[in-house]
Structure 1
Amino acid sequence: MPDLIDHLTEFERAAADFAAALERVDPAAEVPACPGWTVADLALHLGTGQRWAASILLSGTAQKEPDVLRTTISWADWYAGTTAALLAAIRAVDPDEPCWNFAPVDQRAGFWTRRRLHETAIHLVDLLQAGAAAGEEPGTGLAVVPPAVAADGVDEVFEVFLPRMLARGFAPAVTRQLGVRATDTGHEWTLTPVPQGDRPHVERGKAVGEAVLSGTAADLDLCLWKRLPTTALTVEGDPAVANDFLAGRATP
């Protein structure tokens, strides 16, 4: 799954869209998906993450996330600068070069291009929702996450974040076998719990289980990240199994 899209090209596109939206959206606007955050907080979070990832890529080792002061220049310009720094770091390091990451996957530099793509895509949705006109229902932002990127985002949740949340002490999100199907891209997954709280087994290419969740890849991705109501998805089989999974902590 990770090799089916060009993560660098898609990251550049998503980051450019985020910077452009920052030009339009009031920095003081509230972010519906991140209670207590303003657009300025969102920009600070994402730009700081760009700097952090760049430092990891260039050193190959774990780094402390920088303490960043609020910028005195425009948020769009500051964010664009952090993105340029990360892009330079990505291009300076071969994706197969050994490099630390926080996940139970290969410790390779290419992890960070994929991770920053999906971090940016989700927060671009947040930014567009924040920029919705006052008094109107916030937009979902679905159109800004291409189907192939969203399907890869779902795969990243299953590969990286289900075990990460377990490692952080959260109860397993997968307690019964569950199938997941992206209706627009054809991607399918089967999640099977394993004993002793280990990370669930992920089988790609089929969707079977006591329940099967289906929706477009973007629907699935945004529901997993709690950016879209779960009513956007269709459930076949036992709804309690699906509801328990969707109510769990699959992502931070």
Structure 2
Amino acid sequence: MRLLECLAADQARLRQVAATDLAAAVPACPDWTVADLVRHVAVTYLHKVECMRTGRIPSSWPPDVSAEEPLPLFDRACRALGTEFDGRDPAALAPTWYDPDQTVGFWLRRMTQETVIHRVDMELATGRSVAEIPADLATDGIDEVLRLFLGYRSRRWPEDFAEVLPESAVEILAAAGPASWLVRLGPEGATVAPDRAVALGATIPAAPSRSASAGPAATVSASPDRMLLWLWRRRADDAIGWSGDRAAVDRLRLALAPATR
């Protein structure tokens, strides 16, 4: 399965890069070193393993893993996560924070995307070159961060987004290669519909018909890998191109902040 291939490749790269400088500061995660981030990824993996093994979200977390060194802990977590994914059908039930999808497949996608972003964090922290993010993986990640992290979460937990949403609705088109998404930001939250999207291992709903408005206030565009990292706030604004209302672009960037912490 493609997601498993991507996950394994980025786990290997993450570990390789992390081992070069565990003490380096991580720009995207203030006050964290590479060692802290390695522990975070490992504990995140173990949390998903527990969700899948027990069929419930752990009530007490995280466990005390302070006695384990970061890289051996990461190795143990990778093995445990791989065992779960290898032994379960992606359609099997597993509890998640995303109500519409309570399956193992959700966690397979989520952990794959979690890993590629933190792999990039390690590369930026240690001054290593950022390895390629395959276009299909990046496109899937764009879909996830826009539809789930921004769209779903802004409506499921509106209190987290109250300070970043506009008082009146604004539409922005995000285009990455052959795929694009129409993002509508409003005081009640965000709605996101794929205009032309192909996602890796994900079921994409049909886009609703466009409104009778004059179209989006702005368009942001980039290659899939650059767009993914810009949306996750790992790249500066010069990573993307834009047209239309610059204030609408800035509003999208602002709305993404609580979604991508």
TM-score range, shorter chain: 0.7 to 0.9
For residue 188 of structure 1, give the secondary structure of its aligned residue in structure 2. strand
Q: 1:167 Cα shift?
A: 3.2
Equivalent in the alignment of 2:239: 232
How many correspondences in the alignment? 236
Quote the Cα distance in structure 2 between the aligned partners of 1:38 and 1:200.
35
The answer on whether the counterparts of 1:140 and 1:228 sit within 8 Å (CA) in structure 2 is: no
Of 185, 188, 191, which residue of structure 2 is paired with 1:200?
Answer: 191
Of 159, 169, 181, which residue of structure 1 is paired with 2:175?
Answer: 181
Give a deviation string over 1:152-193, Cα, whole Å, max 9, x none.
Answer: 11000122101224433213658411101113xx11111234
Q: Which amino acid aligns with 2:195?
A: R
Quote the Cα distance in structure 2 between the aligned partners of 1:102 and 1:213.
29
Structure 1 length-normalised TM: 0.85
Equivalent in the alignment of 2:49: 54
The answer on whether the counterparts of 1:105 and 1:160 sit within 8 Å (CA) in structure 2 is: no
Residue 22, structure 1, aligned to residue 18, structure 2: yes
For residue 200 of structure 1, give the secondary structure of its aligned residue in structure 2. strand
Quote the Cα distance in structure 2 between the aligned partners of 1:223 and 1:201.
17
Give a deviation string over 1:51-104, Cα, whole Å, max 9, x none.
Answer: 00111112222124322333444x333212211100101122211112110124
Q: How does 1:107-186 map to 2 (within 5 A)?
A: 107-132=102-127, 141=130, 143-162=131-150, 163-168=152-157, 169=159, 170-171=161-162, 175-183=169-177, 186=178
Which ranges of structure 2 fall in alignment gaps of 5 or more residues?
198-209
224-233 or 38-47: which moved more? 224-233
Quote the Cα distance in structure 1 between the aligned partners of 2:67 and 2:23.
14
Quote the Cα distance in structure 1 between the aligned partners of 2:253 and 2:145.
13
Quote the Cα distance in structure 1 between the aligned partners of 2:183 and 2:139.
15
Q: 1:116 Cα shift?
A: 0.4
Equivalent in the alignment of 2:58: 63
Quote the Cα distance in structure 2 between the aligned partners of 1:99 and 1:181.
32
The answer on whether the counterparts of 2:25 and 2:33 sit within 8 Å (CA) in structure 1 is: yes
Q: 1:198 Cα shift?
A: 4.5
Of 248, 251, 260, which residue of structure 2 is paired with 1:244?
Answer: 251
Q: Percent identity?
A: 27
Equivalent in the alignment of 1:92: 87
Q: Which amino acid aligns with 1:220?
A: M
Quote the Cα distance in structure 2 between the aligned partners of 1:115 and 1:209.
29
Q: Which amino acid aligns with 1:233?
A: I
The answer on whether the counterparts of 1:58 and 1:93 sit within 8 Å (CA) in structure 2 is: no
Quote the Cα distance in structure 1 between the aligned partners of 2:15 and 2:3.
18
Equivalent in the alignment of 1:212: 219
Equivalent in the alignment of 2:7: 11
CA 1:46–1:165: 2 relative to 1, 3 Å: farther
Quote the Cα distance in structure 2 between the aligned partners of 1:103 and 1:122.
20
Which ranges of structure 1 fall in alignment gaps of 5 or more residues?
133-138
Q: Which amino acid aligns with 2:245?
A: D
CA 1:221–1:83: 2 relative to 1, 3 Å: same
Structure 2 length-normalised TM: 0.83
